[in-house]
Structure 1
């Protein structure tokens, strides 16, 4: 696995610490916690939470600590996730290309349809009032936290088991689908799609001027003087400027700005091979895309700490129906969906499973993938306005850590044979 362990351990620990501090703080002194989270850094700022007049027009914006973390800084986290998705799809040996990715992609579809069905089905069973209150949160239990799922997957299967790689493929495809869901179904304000032209223009300009054109001029010249000059003299700065423009375009378009860097990621020069999802070995590649990811690694660890601190501060008294709906979607819908759709792909459509992996392992993988945490928290924060429903849904995302214990038990009951890596 090319030492993925160090990467996800670093990300996970800081995130957990931030979440635990928030959880304790909110239950000891909720007022001071919420005052801290919504602390205004800049009133009448060019970016931030919008304030509207009676005509529905934005009059001014306030940059709060919560907005800074969730809407601006988390863009770097999603950019790294997008980088892994992009390489997995575009490179010849990418992990989401070809037949080897077919069954994991079917399992991913099941791991999303299953939770949605359970969440909305149970909400409807509880009555129309509950359904109307929680229906917008249907995407919360679809998420899979890559870092935590990987850590638990190693404990259940062992680092060398083919199910661990299958789990990583499922998780990264799940994240890709989650990014699409966030962009399409959870706008951050009134839609103004014309502003997306700014993001598109920034992406096209930086690609053609600083990526395509130097390579075009270097065609047939092994010394690559133009590409070398752009890389050594300009580095990542043209892409940083384009990223700022793209982020602003997303904010003004009403699409969640945390996704604003996604159009820029494919424009950055990248290697022609990948070592695997979140592989530490890729830090030794010299292409600009991997270089930028390596630069962002430690800042994003700190960002995730603050993300946990800003979003996990939920009072235990807020536990209610949305909590159990999110949990049921994750703990029931995810394993069942992964198993059924995995069987459909592997056996009905005869796409097969990796050598050394059993059909029942699909169910265990689904249990591990039920750890939603990071992305589930993020979706809960954008799906509902601040208040009891949002807090209850966030508690369900936090409680999804129960999937770790369930996964270990499922591994024992299904007699998983650990394979050390």
Structure 2
């Protein structure tokens, strides 16, 4: 339990602190908060937000920043959401990669079949509720909010896992099921971001730069040293690369990959994902909240350990830059996002989990009941981090985006709903 609380404290509480500061600031002095978010750090012609779009957002305040005519501007918001959040998604990608590729990965084999079905339901359910309710608002409103369909599909791993332990007890098989669902949800979310939410006009040829960076760094600094060391138990070349070069070649490759994503039109926050699989990794993973995970010394885990504290700070600023919503912005998108999470997620997880477990006879873990699927869906309805991120890319800055973000913030209500659902479903807690 210590590692869970440690993870929650290091990552999520700093995120919440940033979000609370942003909420108070935006509702006490919205103008100064807006200036902070859109504050220009670098005018250039290569990376950043479109200059003319930024000038529209800033209005008369843009004239206070004298600059030469350029095509782009790196704002405080762009720095956090598009550049620094790439490290957060790299850590999420690492967990997904290990779950899929390693022999004992949690998303491999029959044990993952029913959770994967439940994950599919946990995405289709929220989308259906969101778009279905939006349709009843009329064609005009539907057109305004439809692009936010992916916001309620997200699951915040840390908070959901903690609440799941409170509801089921640390030793209940439903907790493991929930973690598998959350990791699969993250993987699907990354795919959705890449496919459905490009950051600009698509120029796929730039992805060749990302591909070349990944292949190049893997061949030169991972595969080749191991190939040359074949049959030599001392592994001198691999050891030299690890000790002398460490993660630097991968950082350089990551920068090139990020630039390729930024120029291709895909969201640059995903730009480090192609580099994650190229790092040397252990033959097994114990899981994101396992105590033993911190003792793995392969380069992939070592890099994750090094990123730990920087990402904590990044998440604080992510909350600060994205959660500054005025309470007056609460409107239809708020309730659409919240309904998608709190209604669509539990029903979707229950329905598709039932189909996987009983119709397709894939089964449930020993000690887990069908009704537990609904409770798991309630727990998984805590969207928060990724929901906030998707809201920031699904809509242009303005009332609709602000309202959708408020729905992501309100998803914390799912924690209380989960505790009530657990009581009504007569969940028997199992101690770890």
**5+ residue gaps in structure 1?**
none
Post-superposition offset of 1:281? 2.3
Q: Report if aligned partners of 1:168, 1:277 keep a CA contact under 8 Å in 2.
A: no
Q: Report if aligned partners of 1:2, 1:275 keep a CA contact under 8 Å in 2.
A: no
Q: Report if aligned partners of 2:3, 2:289 keep a CA contact under 8 Å in 1.
A: no
Work out which of the residue numbers 285, 294, 309 in structure 1 matches 2:296.
285
| 1:12 paired to 2:9 | no
Cα deviations by residue, 1:99-145 (Å, 9 ceiling, x for unpaired)? 00000000000000000000001101111111100010100000001
Farther-moved stretch of structure 1 (124-133 vs 38-47): 38-47
| 1:23 paired to 2:23 | yes
Q: Report if aligned partners of 1:50, 1:59 keep a CA contact under 8 Å in 2.
A: no
Cα deviations by residue, 1:344-366 (Å, 9 ceiling, x for unpaired)? 00111111111111110100000
Work out which of the residue numbers 66, 73, 76 in structure 2 matches 1:65.
76
| 1:351 paired to 2:370 | no
| 1:369 paired to 2:380 | yes
Alpha-carbon distance in 2 for matches of 1:176, 1:368: 18
Q: Report if aligned partners of 1:2, 1:279 keep a CA contact under 8 Å in 2.
A: no
Q: Report if aligned partners of 1:66, 1:310 keep a CA contact under 8 Å in 2.
A: yes
Q: Give the TM-score normalised by structure 2.
A: 0.95
Describe the SS at the equivalent of 1:3. helix
Alpha-carbon distance in 2 for matches of 1:246, 1:279: 31
| 1:275 paired to 2:275 | no
Farther-moved stretch of structure 1 (277-286 vs 198-207): 277-286
Alpha-carbon distance in 2 for matches of 1:242, 1:52: 31
Post-superposition offset of 1:212? 0.4
Post-superposition offset of 1:4? 3.4
| 1:203 paired to 2:214 | yes
Determine the structure 2 residue equivalent to 1:37.
Answer: 37
Alpha-carbon distance in 1 for matches of 2:348, 2:389: 22
Q: How many residues align?
A: 417
Aligned CA RMSD, in angstroms, stands at 1.4
Alpha-carbon distance in 1 for matches of 2:2, 2:412: 26
Alpha-carbon distance in 2 for matches of 1:100, 1:323: 36
Cα deviations by residue, 1:141-176 (Å, 9 ceiling, x for unpaired)? 000011111111111111111111111110010000
Q: Report if aligned partners of 2:4, 2:162 keep a CA contact under 8 Å in 1.
A: no
Alpha-carbon distance in 1 for matches of 2:258, 2:276: 12
Determine the structure 2 residue equivalent to 1:250.
Answer: 261
Work out which of the residue numbers 399, 405, 412 in structure 2 matches 1:401.
412
Cα deviations by residue, 1:287-310 (Å, 9 ceiling, x for unpaired)? 000000000111111111110111
Alpha-carbon distance in 2 for matches of 1:4, 1:400: 20
Work out which of the residue numbers 234, 250, 255 in structure 2 matches 1:223.
234
Determine the structure 1 residue equivalent to 2:348.
Answer: 337
